[in-house]
Amino acid sequence: MKALTWHGKRDVRVQEVSDPSIKEATDAIIKVTTSGICGSDLHLYELFGPFMLEGDVLGHEAMGIVEEVGAEVKNIKPGDRVVIPFNISCGHCFMCDRKLFAQCETTQVRDHGMGAALFGYTKLYGEVPGGQAEYLRVPQAHFGPIKVPEGPPDERYVYLSDVLPTAWQAVEWADIPGGGSVAIFGLGPIGQMCARIARHLGHRVIAVDGVPERLAMARRHGVETVDVPSHGNVPEAIRDLTDGRGPDSVIDAVGMESHGSPFAKLAQSITGMLPGRVAAPLMETAGVDRLSALHHAIETVRRGGTISIIGLYGGMADPMPMLRMFDKGITLRMGLTHVKRWIDTLLPLVEDDADPLGVMDLATHRLPLDQAPHGYEIFQKKRDGAIKVLLSP
């Protein structure tokens, strides 16, 4: 089959690889019909080389048609249309019983001290071949796949794999009071959906970014925006909009983005170029994340407020302004998304023809799999108005 494979920093290629096959009785094989490029994929493209092997198949936002199932898979059958959650969970362990599916004890990658395995995401998360391919092997298929009906386009459902549950969890964990306010840092796909979900739930939303196309998309959905280049002090600008206190909650949908401080950018770039055996421990202990968005979030949120971190961070020794956080009495919540925890809430919203979350107004580019390297490039460089790129094998 054809699949997008990793070969080094900013080097991804569509190649022929071996077809997947059933290995365990709880496996399934799906024929992929649509997969997304996630902002987290850009970290593999740019930085996480020390944790990748050449030829790794990328992608963790996939949906398609079931081709084959293992003997213990009874909930889906060949021909069913399914969305695949990005984290792989069993549904019945200690963590899954508590709906902490991203911490599934059956698939935890204990060799690296990490949580549940993920599709297409480094040896830290199990090195499971991903979904930017023609076919995908789905472990734990007795629980993971989400059945969706025939008819509506893939774009209606594919975001259930990651974008929608991730955004919903970010808003839930932000603990916004009824009729309260939230500032969202970053208007990539997750930030866009955080803004729409918070608006749908009746909250005031102020979103922060510096890319004109992202700001325009948010404004189309009734979101107040703050253009970073137009404000020397973003936290102050947001406080001015919120009676001088700051918003009740802040969502950091940026993580270790590509526009942080020059020093941190240099540290990340150097780390990304080091040999794997040197770079991996440095990344795990030296703390090369760009923390400007998180520091702005801490300055922005009102005293006694909550910060929900949904953007991906990867360092282990990042300096945090603990005195400021303690003095303001800030609550922090963060972590990978427990995808299946939120599906029962989200499915009726995406099936609603009124499209209350605007899922049909998120993808800016729909490309054949053969053009995936181009999709990565324009997404990473924020060119050609790229906000969300979907791939079709």
Asked if residue 174 has pLDDT above 80, the reply is yes
Asked if residue 263 has pLDDT above 80, the reply is no
Listed range (112-121, 271-280, 293-302, 339-348) with the worst mean pLDDT:
271-280
Say how far apart CA 9 and CA 26 lie, in whole Å.
34
Q: pLDDT tens digit string along 110-162?
A: 999 999 999 999 899 999 999 999 999 999 999 999 999 999 999 999 999 99
Residue 66 · residue 78 · CB < 8 Å:
yes
Residue 28 · residue 161 · CB < 8 Å:
no
Q: How many residues does the chain have?
A: 393
pTM over 0.75: yes
State the Rg of the chain over Cα.
20
Q: 38-55 as b/e, with b when 16 or more CB fall inside 10 Å?
A: bbbbbbbbbbbbbbbeee
Residue 331 has a pLDDT of 97
Paired with 251 in beta bridges are: 184, 308
Residue 312 has a pLDDT of 80
Residue 275 — very low, low, confident or very high, per pLDDT cuts 50/70/90?
Answer: low
3-state secondary structure of 114: coil
Asked if residue 41 has pLDDT above 50, the reply is yes
Q: pLDDT tens digit string along 200-231?
A: 999 999 999 999 999 999 999 999 999 999 99
3-state secondary structure of 362: coil
Q: pLDDT tens digit string along 335-378?
A: 999 999 999 999 999 999 999 999 999 999 999 999 999 999 99
CA 361 to chain centre: 18
* Pairing of the two strands 62-69 and 28-37: antiparallel
Q: pLDDT tens digit string along 84-95?
A: 999 999 999 999
Residue 261 — very low, low, confident or very high, per pLDDT cuts 50/70/90?
Answer: very low
Cα-based angle 370, 13, 8 (whole degrees, multiple of 5)? 155
Question: Which candidate, 288, 304, 297, 285, places its Cα nearest to that of 321?
Answer: 297
Residue 43 has a pLDDT of 85
Within a 10 A sphere around the Cβ of 240, how many other Cβ atoms?
Answer: 13
Residue 26 · residue 56 · CB < 8 Å:
no
Q: What is the mean pLDDT of residues 74-83?
A: 98
Residue 388 has a pLDDT of 98
Residue 315 — very low, low, confident or very high, per pLDDT cuts 50/70/90?
Answer: low
Residue 291 has a pLDDT of 75
Say how far apart CA 391 and CA 187 lie, in whole Å.
21
Asked if residue 280 has pLDDT above 80, the reply is no
Q: What is the mean pLDDT of residues 234-246?
A: 97
Say how far apart CA 281 and CA 279 lie, in whole Å.
6
Asked if residue 272 has pLDDT above 90, the reply is no
The listed range with the strongest mean pLDDT (181-185, 281-285, 291-295) is 181-185
Portion of the chain with pLDDT greater than 90, in percent: 81
Residue 311 has a pLDDT of 85
Residue 317 has a pLDDT of 54
3-state secondary structure of 382: coil
